Amino acid sequence: MVEDQDMSVREAAAVMQDARIRARHEFVISAPAVYTAWGLVWLLGYGAMWLSVRGQHPYRSPSGVSIAAVFVLAAFAVAAVLIVAHRAVAGVGGRSARRRTTILVTWATGYLILLVVQTAISGSVSVRTLAFVDFAGPLLLAGLVYLVAAVLGANRPALALGGWLVLVAVSCAWLAPAAMLATCALAGGGAFLLIAAAEARIGRHAG
């Protein structure tokens, strides 16, 4: 009788563990590969832009090459999201599908609004304000999306990352444009890579 109870407890624990692993796989934006990809966008892409403006007095704008590097890295990051999503959630529907759709629609809508705002205020605001919208705006949006995703998926690493990204982005309001780029690159990109390492470690232990 005792052995049967022990077996039931172990089976229940195994089911719970499997459910947690499956939930992490379905929560595609928290996959280590996705965190790493976006971390490189911020660290290398924004780092390149910072290097291009570091000696500008007065500040003008990042070089075309550094901006192109950001777009190239972002394209690879988007590809990583699509690949991970396809592999991890193929055939999964219902509540998980609706949650993923909500996250992706929120992110896409947010970036569309951000692009509209950037276009609308260009040429009519100070250089510092425009730099904040251009550089810190995407980081702020990413943080808000991760907060929403964390609530929907009960994902603590995503919650921590989202809160940190929002804090970093808001702090850029008091910085000069070059300092904004450096802050986004180091504090933003570094946070993504740190969470990627943590998630990878959790995944190894869970496996």
- The tens digit of pLDDT for each residue in 65-124 reads 998 998 888 888 888 777 766 665 555 555 565 666 666 677 777 777 877 887 788 777
Q: Which residues contact 78 (CB under 8 A, 6 or more apart)?
A: none
Burial class (CB in 10 A: 0-12, 13-18, 19+), 111: middle
Specify the pLDDT at position 47: 94
Specify the pLDDT at position 180: 93
- Please answer whether residues 175 and 49 qualify as being in contact, where contact means their C-beta atoms are separated by less than 8 angstroms: no
The 10 Å CB-count burial string (b at 16+, else e) for 48-58 is bbbbbbeeeee
Provide the 10 A C-beta neighbour count for residue 145: 22
Specify the pLDDT at position 12: 47
Is residue 179 helix, strand or coil?
helix
Residues of the chain with pLDDT under 70: 1-30, 84-104, 153-154, 202-207
The reply to whether the predicted model has a pTM over 0.75 is yes
**Residue 10: what residue type?**
R
